[in-house]
Amino acid sequence: MPNRCVEKPLLAATSTPPAWQRDTLRLTLAGREFVLRRDQDMEALWESLGREGFGEDERMPYWAEVWPASLLLAAWLGARRAEIAGRRCLDIGCGMGLSALAGAACGARVAAVDHEEAAIVHAGRNAAANGLRLDLAVMDWRRPAFAPASFEVAWGSDILYETRFYDALVPFFRQLLAPGGRIWLSQPWRQVSEPVWGALAADGFRVDKLHEESVAFASTRSTVTLYEIGL
């Protein structure tokens, strides 16, 4: 796999990792403060849903948490402002909207989608709280709601945590990218995800490893890698 790694850390080292204070999170990324709010944490949502609430797709409320991969992706977007400003961009699996907001703060025209309506509701609230504009939609990536070649840049964090997602995402990637477009994927190390990058290359995608960094959030620390894929 080609390697174009950026060596300089994207996230400032702090003695205390960022963490939720009650249901509010304040983050400073690329020189700007972002404020996220939620109604419940992920564990409380799990308990309120019950097993029957997950449905056949096991729709667990991962969106109600901020993960190290999304922090690194948001910082990456802030560092790539000139590459996305004014461009039509897509956030795949936006959750509460952190990376979508980071892109919008850089001047990108961001469409943000998620499978969960509750995530989109929270992303809309967070966009308003930060004075930023997002185009938001509930969407299953198996049934894209966009015309082919709609986006010059797309991104997603931790969206390949199950191998079953791969077969749905590959045709989605092919459909959404404009000629010369690229996708930035931020992924923590997981053994189940390791074959993905070779599979993408075998399926005709260009795959570059861009950056790797140890990222802390609350009590969690993960090694997160950023990849760029294109056709």
Average pLDDT of the residues of the chain = 90
Residue 12 has a pLDDT of 82
Cβ(110)–Cβ(91) below 8 Å: yes
Low-confidence stretches of the chain (pLDDT < 70) are 1-4, 6-7, 46, 49-59
C-alpha to C-alpha distance for 151 and 183, rounded to whole angstroms: 10
Cβ(140)–Cβ(119) below 8 Å: no
| Domains located in the chain, CATH noted | 3-230 (3.40.50.150)
Q: Output Rg (C-alpha) for the chain, integer angstroms.
A: 17
Residue 160 has a pLDDT of 87
pLDDT tens digits, 95-125: 999 999 999 999 999 999 999 999 999 999 9
**DSSP states along 127-194:** HHHTT---EEEE--TTS--S-TT-EEEEEEES--SSGGGHHHHHHHHHHHEEEEEEEEEEEE--GGGT
Of 138, 204, 137, 140, the closest CA to residue 177 belongs to 204
User: Within 16-64, where are the H helices?
Assistant: 42-49
pTM recorded for the entire structure: 0.92
Residue 78 has a pLDDT of 96
Residue 54 has a pLDDT of 47
